[in-house]
């Protein structure tokens, strides 16, 4: 017998489906029968209150992220959180009404077609993490991608040391802002790089953006400005752009034995001169969050606990650029594609 402590019947249940690769017109709201969300023995049903948006969602819709999305029809979305509404009979470590975040591997552990752009989410209880009361419903489904991406690379993989200098391109992104907080917490120095004077001024005024210095690439001498700030160059670059001309400049900005970590591909591929890497004994490395989700449970739990405690205390603060109702997903995708926002865009079912 399956135990369901709160009736989920007669609730409006729906998800977003990408009908075919292409523009926002391919995003469709599809209503679902409540029978789909009947939990199995070890499963829970979560009423999502918060779904973090990521550029990977846009890439999936356009057909640029097939390794994760598969082919249409599919539901995009890599993160989410909310309230448990029903539990299976074998679940003893979760309870109805409990606030949880989906683990970062939860969407990846289901069929490719089942991302988090849904009003409700069915998963096993071990794919959920309880959330402290001090963290708001609005952001609980938008935490992992910014903070775990930054913490996993810079603290776990890079073993960032106090007083090391880290360059953060795309400084207005939620990942870079999260990284600025994490780096300061661990004693490092941050230099943000952004693409406009408007963003530069807004970031300087944001209490969440913990940049010791910030420059804009609109200034043709932006790299000289960074060299003047550092003297010796930067120790680490945490880069989602990775484009030819920009990457060439980053290589020249590296200190001896420095490292460029690439975690995104927002730029266009081009020719890169790696000669300075040899001279500096430097390196370019790739980073994906999957490395952390495949690590030992001790490492994963340590990351979750650190981030949740810091957010609950207010030492880490996720900046929210804007929230959208989930059924306005087309408008939300259009907003993200403009690349004018600062912080996180969030869908709220």
- Six token digits for residue 244: 């030819």
pLDDT for 9: 61
Supply the mean pLDDT for the chain: 93
Q: What pLDDT does 109 receive?
A: 65
Contact 280, 255 (CB under 8 A): yes
Domains of the chain, by residue range, sit at: 13-134+321-348, 144-290
90 touches 279 (CB < 8 A): no
CATH 3.40.50.720 given to domain 144-290: yes
Report d(CA 299, CA 319) in Å as an integer: 26
What are the pLDDT digits (tens) for 95-122? 999 999 999 999 876 655 689 999 999 9
Checking if the pLDDT of 148 tops 60, the result is yes
* Fold matches, 13-134+321-348 and 144-290: no
Architecture of domain 13-134+321-348: Alpha-Beta Complex (3.90)
- Secondary structure element (H or E) that encloses residue 185, with its range: helix 174-185
Predicted pLDDT at 184 = 97
The pLDDT of 303-308, averaged and rounded, is 97
Enumerate the β-bridge partners of residue 141: none
Per DSSP, 2 falls in state -
Q: Is 144 exposed, middle or buried (0-12, 13-18, 19+ CB in 10 A)?
A: buried
């Amino acid at each position: 017998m399956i135990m369901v402590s709160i009736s989920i019947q007669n609730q409006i249940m729906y998800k977003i489906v990408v009908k075919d690769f292409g523009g926002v017109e391919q995003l469709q709201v599809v209503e679902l029968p409540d029978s789909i969300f009947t939990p199995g023995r070890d499963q829970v049903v979560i009423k999502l209150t918060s779904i973090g948006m990521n550029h990977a969602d846009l890439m999936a819709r356009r057909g640029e992220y097939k390794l994760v999305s598969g082919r249409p029809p599919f539901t995009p979305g890599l993160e989410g959180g909310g309230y448990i509404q029903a539990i299976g009979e074998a679940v003893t470590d979760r309870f109805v009404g409990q606030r949880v975040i989906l683990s970062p591997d939860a969407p990846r552990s289901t069929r490719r077609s089942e991302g988090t752009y849904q009003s409700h989410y069915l998963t096993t209880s071990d794919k959920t993490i309880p959330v402290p009361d001090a963290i708001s419903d609005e952001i609980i489904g938008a935490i992992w991608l910014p903070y775990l991406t930054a913490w996993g690379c810079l603290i776990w993989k890079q073993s960032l040391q106090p007083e090391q200098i880290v360059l953060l391109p795309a400084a207005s992104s939620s990942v870079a802002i999260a990284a600025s907080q994490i780096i300061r917490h661990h004693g490092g120095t941050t230099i943000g790089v952004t693409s406009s004077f408007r963003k530069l001024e807004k970031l300087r005024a944001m209490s969440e953006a913990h940049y010791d210095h910030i420059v804009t690439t609109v200034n043709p001498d932006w790299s000289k400005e960074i060299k003047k700030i550092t003297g010796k160059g930067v120790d680490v670059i945490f880069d989602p752009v990775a484009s030819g001309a920009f990457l060439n400049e980053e290589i020249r900005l590296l200190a001896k034995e420095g490292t460029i970590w690439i975690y995104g591909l927002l730029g266009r591929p081009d020719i890169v001169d790696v000669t300075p890497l040899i001279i500096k004994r430097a390196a370019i490395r790739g980073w994906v969050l999957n490395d952390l989700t495949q690590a030992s449970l001790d490492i994963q739990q340590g990351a979750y606990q650190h981030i949740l405690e810091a957010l609950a205390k207010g030492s880490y603060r996720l900046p929210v650029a804007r929230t959208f109702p989930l059924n306005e997903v087309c408008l939300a995708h259009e907003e993200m594609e403009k690349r004018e926002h600062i912080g996180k865009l969030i869908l709220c079912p």
